[in-house]
Amino acid sequence: MRIEEYFQQIKKIIELCSVVQLSEISYTKRGSYEGFIRGELNFVDGSILHLREFVDVEITSDRLMYAYQYQDSSNKLIFRYDNTGHHKKLGLPTYPHHKHHGSEENVFPALAPNLQVILREIELLVKLP
């Protein structure tokens, strides 16, 4: 797969999410197979997802770096999935992949989710106005 195809998949996933109100995403090619995605999704209840992915799709969709931070309308952290290597001392079995739930200090092991999984989780949390 080429990076443009991956970008199109991400755009389609966002379009199909019923609770996304506004999408501001930038897509940057870093070669035929690598790219960077950055932006935010605003949901109908005022909550926001900030997302970043650096991906290599030459063989599989390998996200070399990712962060999905979901906040409520008052900017309080609800959850963040990322693969930043700053929690090695915790000995998480999924290191470096982990999830923050409700605060920076509340860290749990987590497998690396993709955007579609993240949006399904958010759809369950969004309170419709």
Given a cut of 70, whether residue 119 has pLDDT beyond it is yes
Residue 74, classified by CB atoms within 10 Å of its CB into exposed (0-12), middle (13-18) or buried (19+), is exposed
Q: State the DSSP code for 26.
A: E
Q: How many domains does the chain have?
A: 1
Which pLDDT tens digit goes with each residue over 35-65?
Answer: 999 999 999 999 999 999 999 999 877 789 9
CA 107 – CA 100 distance, rounded (Å) = 5
Reported confidence tier of residue 129, pLDDT bands at 50, 70, 90:
low
> What pLDDT, on the 0 to 100 scale, is given for residue 94?
85
Rounded CA gap, 67 and 99, in Å?
10
* Confidence (pTM): 0.93
Q: In the structure, what pLDDT confidence band is assigned to residue 21 with cuts at 50, 70 and 90?
A: very high
Residue 123 is given by DSSP the state H
pLDDT of the residue at 127: 79
Q: Which residues pair with 99 in a beta bridge?
A: 81, 108
pLDDT digits (tens, 9 = 90+) for 74-114: 999 999 999 988 777 777 888 899 999 999 889 999 999 99
- Residue 78: give the domain boundaries: 3-125
Are residues 39 and 49 in contact, defined by beta-carbon separation less than 8 angstroms? no
Q: DSSP strand E in 1-129: where?
A: 20-29, 34-43, 48-56, 62-71, 77-82, 98-101, 107-109
